[in-house]
Amino acid sequence: MKTTYREAMRSALQEALQQDERVFLMGEDVGRYGGCYAVSKGLQEEFGEERIRDTPLSESAFVGAGIGAALGGMRPIVEVMTVNFSLLCLDQIVNNAATLRHMSGGQFSVPVVLRMTTGAGRQLAAQHSHSLECWYAHVPGLRVIAPGTLEDMRGMLRLALEDPDPVIIFEHNALYNREGELAEDSSITDIRRAAVRRNGSDVSLICYGGNLHKTLDAAEQLAEGGIDAEVVDLRSLRPLDDETILASVRKTHRAVLIDEGWRSGSLAGEIGMRIAEQAFYDLDAPLARVCSAEVPIPYAAHLEHAALPQVDTIVEKVREVMGQNV
């Protein structure tokens, strides 16, 4: 079936709301306006104001309310407009949602699902464009996932709702309009294991979410130049699936990490370290990464483009690692 990432998420929300009356959606402008990215358009007409709730502009209040509802037996889906705004409710997420199972000695679980848009590329400027996934991937008690394919956009929400603990889904805003063929088989989605999206023998390109397609495109270009790249889609940013990552690196002996976060303290840094710790003697080239420039993401289109990982910068970095002079 031909569809977009936006529609895939909307139909996932629809299905969840239909199948479980404990599920409800809340967030800023998710109801009457249909969501800032139009993901929930039409859902309030279908499910009513009780279940598709517009909230005041207070992330701390409505994320806290979601955590409370989850503790009370509901299955809330809370939309935070972008990860940038989630800093206002960092306290609720890190100090409450992530800790309560531990602090109650396992008596309470917080089955809340937080959806956040992340990433740049749509000229939304520095307060709406950052990729802060790794801040959350740092925190024990959270599961952090990022769909990169249509199937994962359609299927991850169901799996996240089944999880008894808080799950954060990062949806890259550049994906929503993307169109593609959605496979019928919903069982191919997994929020625990990384997936090899392209098999290759020369180098492992490790990426997730909004950069998956850029990386796959880069792999195609590299193939024309005789470099056979493998593409690993992390899917889960916390916990990381070391097994799949290492199996790929042990096969190809090289790794380039693609991460839209800033380089310093990035998820790419963590993954690189795990490879160094566990597969050092399998490496045939220095590890390398393609991250965002360490600047607030610019508004101007050409500067924004220059600040982000792009197909050509991925290709260039891979050639460098392969010892091809560029």
Partner 1 sequence: MSEFRLPSLGADMKDATLREWFVEPGDTVTKGDSIAAVETDKGIIDIEVFESGTVKEILVQPDEKVPVGTVLATIRSGGKTQGHAEPRKAGVSEDKQAPPEDMPRALNIQPPPGGERKRISPAARKRARELSVDPENIVGTGPGGAVTLEDVASSAGPAAPTGTVAGTAEKQAEAAASSMRRAIAAAVVRSNREIPHYYLSTSIDLTPALTWLEQQNAERPLPLRLVYAILLLKAVAGALQKVPEMNGFFMDDAAQVKDDVHVGVAISLRSGGLLVPTLRDVHRKNPDELMAEFSDLVNRARSGHLRGSELQDATITVTSLGEQGVDTVFPIIYPPQLAIVGFGSIVERVRPVNRAPQVRRVINASLAADHRASDGHRGALFLAEIDRLLQEPERL
Q: Which residues are catalytic?
A: 59, 128
Q: Which residue has the tokens 């109801």?
A: 31
Which C-beta is closer to partner 1: that of 132 or that of 256? 256
CB of 39 to partner 1, least distance (A): 41
State yes or no: residue 38 binds partner 1 (CB under 8 A): no
| CA neighbor of 141 nearest in space, from 166, 112, 173 | 166
Stretch touching partner 1 by CB under 8 A, among 22-30, 32-40, 122-130, 277-285: 277-285
State yes or no: residue 226 binds partner 1 (CB under 8 A): no
State yes or no: residue 165 binds partner 1 (CB under 8 A): no
State yes or no: residue 277 binds partner 1 (CB under 8 A): no
State yes or no: residue 281 binds partner 1 (CB under 8 A): yes
Which C-beta is closer to partner 1: that of 228 or that of 320? 320
DSSP string, 211-279: GHHHHHHHHHHHHHTT--EEEEE--EEES--HHHHHHHHHHHS-EEEEEEEESTT-HHHHHHHHHHHHH
Which C-beta is closer to partner 1: that of 86 or that of 252? 252
Q: Round the CA-based radius of gyration of the chain to a whole number and report it.
A: 20
Q: Which H or E run contains 78?
A: strand 75-80
Nearby residues of 90 by Cβ (< 8 Å), 6 or more positions away = 135
State yes or no: residue 322 binds partner 1 (CB under 8 A): yes
Among 15, 217, 282, 316, binds partner 1 (CB under 8 A): 282
**195 with 233: CB under 8 angstroms?**
yes
- Which of the residues 237 through 256 are near partner 1 (CB under 8 A)? 253
**271 with 240: CB under 8 angstroms?**
yes
Binding residues (CB under 8 A) for partner 1: these are: 253, 280-287, 320-323
